[in-house]
Amino acid sequence: MVGEILKKRREELGRDLREISETLKIKHAYLKAIEEGDRNTLPAEVYVKGYINAYARALELDPTSLVNAYTDEFCPHAQETALPPVRKNAPKKGPGVRYALIVSLLIAVTIIAAFSLFSVPEKRMDLVTPAAEEQKRPVPKTEGAGYDLEALATDTTWLFITIDKTDSREILMKPGDSVTWHAKSGFFLKIGNAGGIKLVLNGKEVGKLGEEGEVVKINLPEKEKTSDVPASG
């Protein structure tokens, strides 16, 4: 478990959890919950990933591998439904029973397919879209007006962006990813790891956004930034 790895490393270094909490400006209760795997005490997942990132760096561990391990541990991919195994000593089923099972399976598949075909979601929005896929969704440019914004990831970074107050997108960028958007009036961004991303607006790099693991909100072209990182506890 991720928490066990962090706790073992901290104890090997002889560091106190409260001292780390004060250094990183992260609540002691959150760091303790991460070590113990207590998800009920932790805030939203995007904040937890930022905390793990910062905590791992403080302990000289690889933050990317631990964040990925946390995702695999608490957000596993849905497993395919499989039919129960047939016991070797189970009595053989007659053709009538096998036919009934086949018919039941076909009916179930038909119902699932029909539900998937005709169900319409109330709101369509991409959740955690890879940056490579985001590049395939260009926003039309207007000649002679607007803003071009490029995001360059230097570390694993969650990002939420609203373009012209109408088009909202949520992506997870990995080191080396680059995404470009165009807007007529401007952008609003919420960044989960301010120290892991660079922004370039109309060819000019935006100043420092924040520290590693810090969550910030920013409006561009006007740079009005606020931090969402909870105070230390």
Nearby residues of 98 by Cβ (< 8 Å), 6 or more positions away: none
SS (H, E, C) 122-135: CCCCCCCEEHHHHC
For 185-229, what is each residue's pLDDT tens digit? 999 999 999 999 999 999 999 888 889 889 999 999 875 455 555
Q: Of all helices (H) and strands (E), which one includes residue 205? A: strand 204-205
167-173 and 129-130 as β-strands: parallel, antiparallel, unpaired? parallel
The answer to whether residues 146 and 213 belong to one domain is yes
pLDDT for 182 equals 94
204-205 and 197-201 as β-strands: parallel, antiparallel, unpaired? antiparallel
pLDDT for 125 equals 42
Return the ∠ at Cα 189 (arms to 185 and 193), rounded to 5°.
Answer: 155
Which amino acid is residue 150, in one-letter code? E
pLDDT beneath 50: ranges in the chain: 78-83, 120-129, 139, 142-143, 224, 231-233
The answer to whether residues 138 and 210 belong to one domain is yes
Residue 111 lies in a domain: no
Domain that holds residue 59: 2-74
Supply the DSSP string of 144-155, one letter for each residue: TBSEEEEEEESS
At 108, list the tokens. Answer: 């179930």
The answer to whether residues 223 and 139 belong to one domain is yes
Q: Where does a domain end: 11, 42, 74? A: 74
CATH number of the domain that residue 22 is part of:
1.10.260.40
- For residue 153, what are the β-bridge partners? 197
Residue 106 lies in a domain: no
pTM for the complete prediction? Answer: 0.39
Helix, strand or coil, per DSSP, at residue 9: helix
At 59, list the tokens. Answer: 């302990």
**In this structure, what DSSP letter does residue 96 have?**
H
Residue 84 lies in a domain: no
Q: How far is CA 129 from the centre of its chain?
A: 9
For 165-178, what is each residue's pLDDT tens digit? 999 999 999 999 99
Residue 203 lies in a domain: yes
At 199, list the tokens. Answer: 């922004």
Specify burial of residue 133 (Cβ count, 10 A radius: 0-12, 13-18, 19+): exposed
pLDDT for 85 equals 54
pLDDT for 152 equals 92
CB 179 within 8 A of CB 134: yes
Cα-based distances in Å from 136 to 133, 179, 181: 5, 10, 11
Residue 61 lies in a domain: yes
Cα-based distances in Å from 176 to 15, 56, 151, 201, 208: 33, 20, 10, 18, 18
Count of domains for the chain: 2
Neighbours of 162 (CB within 10 A): 16
